[in-house]
Amino acid sequence: MNFISNFFKKKKNFLIKAPLSGKIINIKKVPDVVFSKKIVGDGIAIDPSDNKIVAPFDGKISKIFRTLHAFSIESKIDGVQLFVHFGIDTIKMNGKGFKCHVKENQNLKTGELILTVDLNLLKKESKSIITPIIISNTEDFKKIKKKKGNVILGKNTIMKLTK
């Protein structure tokens, strides 16, 4: 492509809605180096105020961990690969405190319920309930704009990606 056609090519934006309600935390402040050092990708984290986790965009569940503490979802159109990891060291709970409402390869619409959690139990028995929300294919996007503040699941945008 030459300069002129690149110049007029429309930038494509993709919005990621909040998969859970709570306060957005800078990814660098997550109490786990795998996330804070962006080893698995870039994103944000949310300190949850509710027990529901929903689809952040229209997509397909590509992986649900056996221990139910994490899942990945891929958008249908733009190929966004998002990894949601509820809490820190929650893998050690071995599924206790988590209830899954979907199956792998299931198609979902924004806002559809994926997991519910026993927030009180997880606060008591895990290292942290801060939930990293990571874009694992960041190299596919030119820009990631991250929001700040409090968010409501399925309603507020947490990240805007530009191709």
3-state secondary structure the chain: CCHHHHHHCCCCEEEEECCCCEEEEEHHHCCCHHHHCCCCCEEEEEEECCCEEECCCCEEEEEECCCCCEEEEEECCCCCEEEEECCECHHHHCCCCEEECCCCCCEECCCCEEEEECHHHHHHHCCECCEEEEECCHHHCCEEEECCCEECCCCCEEEEEEC
Total number of residues shown for the chain: 163
Among 17, 52, 69, 85, the active-site one is 85
List of residues 6+ apart from 155 with CB closer than 8 A: 17, 18
pTM of the model: 0.91
- Point out the residues of the chain with pLDDT beneath 50: 1-5
Catalytic, 69? Answer no
User: What's the half-sphere exposure (Cβ side, CA atoms, 13 Å) at 23?
Assistant: 6
Q: What does the pLDDT look like over 9-39, one tens digit per residue?
A: 556 889 999 999 999 999 999 999 999 999 9
